[in-house]
Each structure stands twice: as structure tokens, then as C-alpha cells.
Chains A and B, each alone.
Chain A
Amino acid sequence: MAGKQARSAIAMAVDDLSPIEIDNDLRLRIYRMQVELRESEQRAYDLFLQNLVKGTSHLSLGQEAVAAGCAAAMEPGDLTFCTYRGHAHTLARGVPMDRVLGELMGRDNGLLRGKGGSMHLTSVEHGVMGSYAIVGAHIPIACGAAWRAQYRGDKDISVCFFGDGTTNIGSFHEGLNFAAIWKLPVVFICENNLYMEYTPIGDVTAVADPAAGRASAYGLESIIIDGQDADVVYRTAKSAYDKARSGGGPSLIECLTYRYSGHSRADPAKYRPEGELDFWKGKRDPIRIYRERLLQSGIGESTLTAIEDDVKQRVDEATAICKAAPPPPADILTTDVYADGGWAWRN
């Protein structure tokens, strides 16, 4: 754990190079978003236990600062690509909570009407271009979207989120090289939560920092930051986005973070050393860190409590909408296989 704290210090040094203003309005928005992600993921977990969310699900509890900070720094029209651990990144772009929870519950009001499920959340109208359940597949895909922007002179950037485990699959390395040689407007954000599924990432990776330690292989700056501090995340992301948008090419940011739950619904996470979870929850919780900062900056306790109460009420409302929603009609089983709307492959 000492090693992780030392790396957080490096992170702050990088951040000092790019001071970017964060006013209190923005801070309150980022705080609200983190609370929303926490409460809605906790609700998703509770709905599992009631067997109302079926299949699998990969929660971002503990990793809220990365999603909230990165999304807050994006412009409308920027594109998000995420993995199967994508609930938080989807919500952070403004997708309504009832559409997300509805998809997890397989209801007709779900974002994908139950055809995609937890691992494939997508909302093109919000710039959420998909959640990809094959590790690393979306890294080249994000490059392609960025190539389109470069080719057409569009001003949007592509932001691609993935975990530490992704840094050991081929498409990560192919995609990073591709982005670098074509100088694409894409930003790669690694959420290093210390575990690839069940195995500590350090046990299966040749370098200490799975993403930042590979950056130099692609001519990229090595950036590793404290992923539990949404201000640090916001500033680092904003600076990388600005660089990408102005033609400066891609960046790779490694955010040190931690997931409170297991890898997926089936994982009780017993492989963690004793005390590790308590350490992160007690000392490194992103919402606690941010709340203290807001109080120190003069924002009143009652303002924060009002946000928290409001979010909880909205989660309850979204849950009620989903519970009341019907399952999808049977006839969508065969729609949208092909562009004509159907599934016909012969005459």
C-alpha cells in the first residue's frame, strides 16, 4: 500500500504542471455526480440481491472519481467508449438513471430494451458509443472514431476507459501504436483498481505501472494520477482533452483507484489481503475526500446534505419506474440484426 501512496505523490506532481480552474459550481456538479454513481451502483447491487437484476454486473463502487472527473471535463459531442464496467461512465454523460437501471433489470424502458444488458450500455445521443465486453476491443474502435474526427476536421475527441487488466491484451498495444502514429484525438484512461478480475495486476504484469509503464513504448508521456481525487482526475483529463482537440495527439492516463466490490456479481473478492478494503474505504474514498474539500472551501454542510438527499430520492424514483416497467415485447427478438430492421438472411 505504501507503494500506491508513493505513486499518488507522483500524480500530484504531474497535476501541478497544468493548473486548471475548478470553481465551486463545477465542484458541486462533480460531487453530485459521484454521489449519484455511488447510490445508483449500490442500488444495482441491492436489486441483484432481490433477483431483479439478472445475469452479471460489474460495479464501479469506489471508482466514482474517475468517471465523474473525466466526464465533467468533456464537451457535448465528445465520445465515450467503455468496458463492461460501464454503468458509471454511462451515467456520467447524463444518461437517465431509470434507463440504465431498466436495462440492468431487462425491462422495456432500458436503454437497449433488454437486448444488451449490463455489459453493453450505449446511448449514442449522449455520446456513449458503447460498453464493450471483450477486453480491449474498444481501444482500436475509439481510434477509428478519432480518425473520423481527424479526417473530417470535427472537433470532438474520443475518450476510452478500461481497466488495468486490459493492458495485457493485444488490442491495447495495437490501438496505442495506431493512435500514436496517426496522432489521433483520443485519450486513453486506465482505471487501475489493482486487480485484473481476481488476480492482482502486479502478479501478471512485467512493469509496476501497467499503463503508465508502457506509455514510453508508444512515444507517450507517462502519466499516473490519484484516481480517488476527482479534482486531480478532472485537471489531468482536461489537459489531455485540450491537447487531443488541438491536434497534439493521444494521451494515456493511469488512474490509481480501487473497486469496493468483487470483479462481478459472482465474485466475493476473498483474494484481497486483510485490511486493504478498509484502508481504501477509510482513507481513500473518493466521495469522502471530495466532501471534506468542499466543506473546507466554505460550502455548507446543508448544501451537501441536500444534494445527497436529492440523489437518494432520484434513485428511489428511478427504481420505482423500472419496477413498474414491463418486460420487452417478444417481437423485438428478431429486430435490428440487419439495417433493414429485421433478421432475414435469405429470400
Chain B
Amino acid sequence: MAELSYRDAVARGIAQEMERDPDVVFLGEDIGKAGGVFKATVGLFDQFGPLRVRDTPISEQAILGAAMGAAMTGLKPIAEIMFSDFIAVCYDYLANQYAKSRYMTNGQVKCPLVVRTANGGGARFGAQHSQSVENWCMAIPGLKVVAPSTPVDVIGLLAASVRDPDPVIFLEHKSLYATKGEVPDGEIVDELGVAKIVRPGTDATILALALMVPRAIAAADKLKAEHGVDCEVIDVRSLVPMDMQTMLSSVSRTHRLFTVEENPRLCGWGAELVSIIADEGFYDLDGPPVRITTPHIPLPATDVLEDRAIPSVDRIVETVRRSLGS
């Protein structure tokens, strides 16, 4: 057991899988010699060499296209898109190629690959380097979408993603890279499609993803200490496949539901979860589900505005408190 940063967990997770399987290869911009613009892939180039850790030009379509060609002929590529906003310039591969090739070819073409990308705000980068694009990805049948919130989950879910036979979009949160957590020694392999209760509670269920998980936990602690409200916080972790049973079961115990979403409100992931829980858990609910989200706006650059846009600990506390009438 040792303390590891989320950033270093990325490199450890990739190294773990590359050591295990020579078919795992890695490509992207500045990932090799430079160690990644977020320094999340330091050491991999030296350890695995330029044929397996390949620096590419600024060619997002070529990166994702090449990953698919390698995957459909037997390799297990990990492709990096530096900022998740850049998925917009190569969205064809996610939306039209990866997601549909198996179905369209009646199962002939397989696409076992991982696209890692730095998602989310908080770094004052402005509207084109800060977006939360999980809802762009989860809307497409055929893709899997994962977003870890802790260093240990980075390693375990990355390993599960690399070993998964489907294309997985792996959303790292750029504002979590510097955070640290305890990580066991040895191989770590997790499972896709399993949500985690990260703080048990009895009065309300709060569903959160990525950077919103530590904020939801901090808010729950404050709600307990200052208002006597005991919230259960669930780290959704995997949007596709989605662990509805863990979430439905929690709501059946707490009877209240909140989502904390960094994506802009319209068609955010929480909308789908709320819809399912309203459908299947309706009689468990004692009040309307409440979504705490970034408004439907582009993200501003400056700190005072960005902090106002993305759900904060105080906004979560205030919203939950008001909704529960505590």
C-alpha cells in the first residue's frame, strides 16, 4: 500500500497492462518522450520503447482511426486524446466507426480499444479545454463510458477497460490529476458497470461522477455535521454499462435522490438516471429527484465565473438542505 497521485496512477495502470500483454500499444500526441502534457504517461516511452508508445502528429482522426485498424486486426490499443474537447474533431470514429462496426458487420469486426482523454473543468482553461463530454459519449449505442474519481479506480478501471472486448471511452478528470489516494501493491483489476457506495447514509442518495465525487462527499460530511442530514454518496464510475441496481437499491433505502453533474444540464447523464429511477423506483421516492448541474452554458475561463458554473460543495449542501427542508 502506498500513496499515489491520480496522475501517476494513469502511468501505472498503462504499464501494468503493457507488461501483461504485448498486444497493448499506446499512441497519442506528446505521450512518449514528453511524458504527456499532464505528465500522466511519464516513463512509459523509456520502459516500452518507441514502437509501443508512439508519439503522433496533431491528427486526432488519424490517432483514433489507426487505433481502430490496429484493434480490428488483433492489437489492444490505448489512444490518447489530449483534451476531451478535441473529441469533437474526431467524433466520427466514436460515433460512426467504433460504435457501429460490430453491429453493421453482423459481429465480424471487433473493436477492443480504449480512448483515454482529459475531461472536465476547474483548470481555468476556458470553453474549449474544459468541457465534460460524458454525455456526448454515452448517447451512442456500442460505446462504453468510464470516469474514475480516485487513483485506485484509475488503475483498476483502466485495466478493466483494456481487457474489455468493446471500445471504451476512459474519461480522466484533469482537475483530479494532482489528487492522491492509497493504492495497494501488485496488480489491480476492477470491473466495468459497478457503481460504488463511497459514503453510506440514510437520508438521501447523491449520485456523482469524477470530480463531483469528492465534492459530493465533502458536501455530505458538511450536511451531517451542520444540518444532521445523513447522505449516501454513490460514485457512478461507469455510465455504460450502468449499475442501476446499486442506485435503485440505495433510493429504496433513502427515498430521496440527487445527482451532481459537471456536464451541461441538457441531456446530462443524470437526466437518464433520474428518468429510470422515476420509472422503476417511483414509489420509493418521497420527493422529486433533484439534478445539481452546470448550467446549459459554455464554460468561462476566469476562476470566479468557472467556480460559479460547476457544482460546488456549497451549492450541493444548499440544494440538498433546501430540498429536504432541513
Given contacts A178-B66, A347-B244, could you give 7 more A-B pairs where the C-beta distance is less than 8 Å? A140-B61, A140-B64, A147-B69, A174-B65, A339-B102, A339-B112, A339-B164
Closest residue on chain A to residue B246 by CB atoms: A347
Residues of A within 8 Å of B63, CB to CB, are 140
Could you pull out 7 A-B pairs where Cβ atoms are within 8 angstroms?
A111-B106, A129-B109, A140-B66, A144-B71, A146-B69, A147-B70, A347-B245
Return the contact of A177 from the options B62, B97, B242 (Cβ within 8 A).
Answer: B62
Residues of A within 8 Å of B242, CB to CB, are 345-347
User: Do B62 and A143 touch (CB < 8 A)?
Assistant: yes
Q: Given A346-B241, A347-B243, A116 and B106 touching (CB < 8 A)?
A: yes
CB < 8 Å A-B pair total: 158
Q: Complex: how many Å from CA A140 to CA B60?
A: 10
B56: interface (CB < 8 Å): yes
Return the CB mask of B44-82 against A: 1 if under 8 Å, else 0: 000000011010110101111111111111110100000
B126: interface (CB < 8 Å): no
Which B residues contact A (CB, under 8 angstroms)? Answer: 25, 51-52, 54, 56-57, 59, 61-75, 77, 92-93, 96-97, 101-110, 112, 141-142, 144, 164-166, 193, 240-245, 276
Q: Name which of B51, B65, B101, B245 has the most chain A CB atoms within 10 A of its CB.
A: B65
Residues of B within 8 Å of A138, CB to CB, are 65
User: Do B97 and A137 touch (CB < 8 A)?
Assistant: yes
Q: Complex: how many Å from CA A132 to CA B100?
A: 11
Q: Complex: how many Å from CA A138 to CA B68?
A: 10
Residues of B within 8 Å of A178, CB to CB, are 56-57, 59, 62, 66
Return the contact of B141 from the options A120, A177, A343 (Cβ within 8 A).
Answer: A343
Closest residue on chain A to residue B52 by CB atoms: A151
Residues of B within 8 Å of A341, CB to CB, are 107
User: Do A345 and B59 touch (CB < 8 A)?
Assistant: no
User: Do A141 and B69 touch (CB < 8 A)?
Assistant: yes
A87: interface (CB < 8 Å): no
Closest residue on chain A to residue B74 by CB atoms: A148
User: Do B57 and A158 touch (CB < 8 A)?
Assistant: no
Interface-side segment among A271-279, A319-327, A330-338: A330-338
Residues of A within 8 Å of B110, CB to CB, are 339
Return the CB mask of A94-136 against B: 1 if under 8 Å, else 0: 0000000000000000011101100010111000011010100
User: Do A139 and B65 touch (CB < 8 A)?
Assistant: yes
A170: interface (CB < 8 Å): yes
Q: Name which of B92, B106, B243 has the most chain A CB atoms within 10 A of its CB.
A: B106
